Structure 1
Amino acid sequence: EDVPTDMRAYLAAIEVSGLTADWWLDQETLAWESGDGRIHLMARDPLKPSLQEIASRAFAGDNAVLFLISIAFVPMFLFASMYSQISLGFDPSNAGLYIGIFFAGFVIAAQWGGRMLDKGGARMPVVIGCAIAAVGFYLWAESMPDVASGADWDQWWRIMIAGAGTGFVLGPVTTDALNRAPHTSYGEVTGITQTMRNVGASVGLAVLGTVLISENRSDLETRFEDLGATKAQADAVVDSLSQSGGGEGSGALQQHAGEKAEQFLQAVQEGFAQSTQTVFYGMAIAMILAGIVAVATIPRGRAPTAAILE
């Protein structure tokens, strides 16, 4: 039996106002929220039409995959740029070219992923892409401590693998999520998918950035102490690197290192490379988790034709 619209509006108003009160996590309130959600789902013309899509296992899986791949995809720009300038000694122009290699693989694979989506649905390109990206990020991470070969651009094929895997995933999983929504709900669904990507990127920057700074500080303190520097001097260099993105690191190094500046510079390059390696291992793990989620939640075949809600 349908529920009157005015009654649903009344329930929704109480629901929203409850979020601003300190009692909204009480058992009674949670029961009210649950009942309100059931009423909206049962209605013929619900006030929240996106609830049906949010409750869909495939739609939730698409968004979980978007969240996980964004942990790696967006932070990669920052950390790869810092690595190329600090550890490899690239100028900003070459740092841009270094990241551009990633998109060479991305663009090519994105076309293949789109064709696979049109033929058989999102599951295959998403799973394949996550696997390829995980391998690519892992191989990229493995090569990072070898600063000399990195400066000679020997990492290019590893970077292209990571980019190709990401290109396989991003387009198909986003399109699949949109295809599972009614045509009149594209705005809502697009907002949900963009939110998941932004939240994933924010989580990735926060978590991986914390790991990078912590690992780099610990590693440089050990390396600097071996060269006769104090912990305070090591901390000063680490702070300059993290705050300036590498632009002022050499100046701080000259100030605190003195005659051993070249040895200290090498220590900074190798230490930052080791720390970045840990971060990129984390990106590979995020891609593995995305692949597992895709296998568990995204069904085989193409998404059903979306309904047109009046």
Structure 2
Amino acid sequence: MTEVLSKPAAASPDAAAADDAAATADAAAREHAAWRSARERDLRTPHGWLTPAALLWPTATPARLPGLPGEWWVEDRALYTRPASGDTATLVGEHVEPDGPTSVVVGEGRSRILGTFLPQGRAAGVEHEVAVEVVLRTGRYAVRPRDPEAATRAGFDGVPAFDHDPAWVLDVPVRWYDEPDAVTVGAAQPRLVHHVEVFGEVDVAHAGTVTTLALTGSATEPTLLFTDESDEVAPWRVLHVRVPALVPGTTADAADGPAPGTLRLDLNRALNLPYAFTRFGTCPAPLAGNHLPFAVTAGEKAPR
């Protein structure tokens, strides 16, 4: 007798679609996990955002600043430093004059690392050197030492975050401005402000309501600073929005991105700003009205 082999039943279209959706979700979750690992590696770097140990404000009179070598002062819209008698450490760097004075100028809202020094009693190596960051905020110079041995870095065990949820990946309408609007916002430190530009706005629909949020940063690298109703998150967070670079001759849909006239907001990637990790951040606050009137249970939670 000849044995007849039956063919396996073909999967139904609904089952195949479900399998494809599951595979897509798994791939997105793996990609998100890799992105989160990279984010935490970046935070752990020796002079990353876990290491600011103070925010010091020099005056017009040359004087020492707590924990730093040399004397520091402000003159003619520049910050100056020079070695001082009794120094037990030496500030070194490409632009540091060994015998002083060294001058440094940064733009409003900007910062730069001037140099590093090795505190007395520490072993040599970048893991022990303190980096000296110079910032200009609201017309005033400040010095922010970044210490790899800061308690915030030594005790860091990761950033708590919500589980990846594809429901928080939103394609939203965007309106780009012909010319950016210059606005002034608050900051994480009292008596400071930031001057930012608004390049456009997006409409976020949720539970029958639509909220319009302003985009700052730049037209090519927009950022969304926002607050929401979750009680598990920092007072405000930031989302860096990717503007897809399309292959010539294709549409946004063909490039597996949002449709024309929209931006994709992956709120799973909502981040804490530096101010959430230490008391010495000077981060800009969101524009008034950049508030989502519901809990965004996605992205990073408030640090422990």
Q: TM-score, normalised by structure 1?
A: 0.22
Higher share in strand: 2
Kindly indicate whether structure 1 or structure 2 has the higher relative contact order, using CA contacts under 8 Å at least 6 residues apart.
1
Q: TM-score, normalised by structure 2?
A: 0.22
